[in-house]
Amino acid sequence: MNAPLPSPLFIGHEIYRASTYGRWHPLRVPRVSTVMDLSRALGWLPRSVYLTSPRAKPAALTGWHTPDYVAALVQAEAEQAVTDAVRARHHLGTPSNPVFPEMYRRPATAAGGSLLAGELLAGGGVVFHPAGGTHHGMPDRASGFCFLNDPVLAIRSLRANGAARIAYIDIDAHHGDGVERAFADDPDTLVLSVHESGLWPRTGALEDEGAGNVFNLPVPRLLNDDEMALIRDGLILPAVAAFQPDALVLQCGADAVADDPQSHLSLSNNAHWQIVAGLMGMAPRLLVLGGGGYNPWSAGRLWTGVWATLNRHAIPPVLPEAAQQVLRGLVFQGNARGRNPDPAWFTTLRDAPRGGPVRDSVRADVARLAARF
């Protein structure tokens, strides 16, 4: 039976309120600030559980990232420009990983939150860090909107603070390639990723096993809630139970829901919340990170519901006026969903369930992976 966990802590920062990757970049939308504002409007984020994320110093990042890359990132922010050589070597100043005013400070703040989480969880507990989850960052280069890899840093911090066996679960629409690269050869780190087949970065094949600790489930387009329930009960929860971790890290990317413009899945936010609920208590330390999520309404609502789930708060069928005003104040420029938002996005947190048939291919792939533990 799952053991009770202490009251969760929330790591946030005001830097995310105004910082943007650029006018037309997918990360132009407010996400973490929306979760903070919604949670406060609902009375779910008292000062006693809110921690302001520190900004990681460059030296703290070099456990995974190379000193040359960290120095290049700091210099790029200071100069607001990169040379052709830096762009080629470190992938800074590209359309995906653009130069913008906080291009070091913002990811370093997310990384600082993940490093702090490992320290906070030394004695057990629950931490929610929605600004985390940048799972594509590589040692010497930015990748996929991720300048730093805070999940890798979180796992390293957990280990430095006493966690011997760590399970990393990734339900973002995109494969967590950077995290797999870091821990594929580490039998004491379970790396399990559920991601859309064929979606960038086009890694994470079903056949990949690492040192026997890597489990990748590429899923077909239009994956529905019933299929994700099978994945939860047939793969995710049994894999964690078999691994017996003393720390769990869940990357809870909000881009896997039907309303996100960067993927082609058909999940409701209920699917994510049910995975969070299922994992609670399966290890004495639980860290939940954000990740992808490019529709401000669906990401903000999903992650606020994650915080509610971690606290066992009942989600109201209709939001109070203060929370509705937070959602009505969001904008989504340059996207049809911003011009025609679903009215339910203003008044509710919970999506209507998106069930459907469970395809034979999903059953077969879950069974194939489950046979390994």
Residue position matching structure tokens 């939940």: 288
d(CA 194, CA 140): 25
Please return the burial class of 142, using the count of CB atoms within 10 Å of its CB with bins 0-12, 13-18 and 19+.
buried
- Tell me the sheet residues that pair with 189: 166
- The residue count of the chain comes to 373
SS3 assignment, position 164: coil
Tell me the C-alpha to C-alpha distance, in Å, between residue 280 and each of 68, 106, 115: 39, 29, 21
Angle at which helices 296-311 and 321-328 cross, to 10°: 150
- DSSP secondary structure of 76-124: HHHHT---HHHHHHH--SSSSS---TTTTHHHHHHHHHHHHHHHHGGG-
SS3 224: coil
What tokens were used for 198?
A: 């064929």
Q: Supply 114's token pair.
A: 């993940």
Catalytic residue among 13, 135, 136, 272: 136
Neighbours of 284 (CB within 10 A): 18
Catalytic, 136? Answer yes
Residue whose entry in the numeric block shows the structure tokens 């489930």 = 217
Residue located via tokens 């430095």: 160
Q: What's the helix, strand, coil split of the chain in %, to 5?
A: 40, 15, 45
**Where in the sequence numbering do the catalytic residues fall?**
136
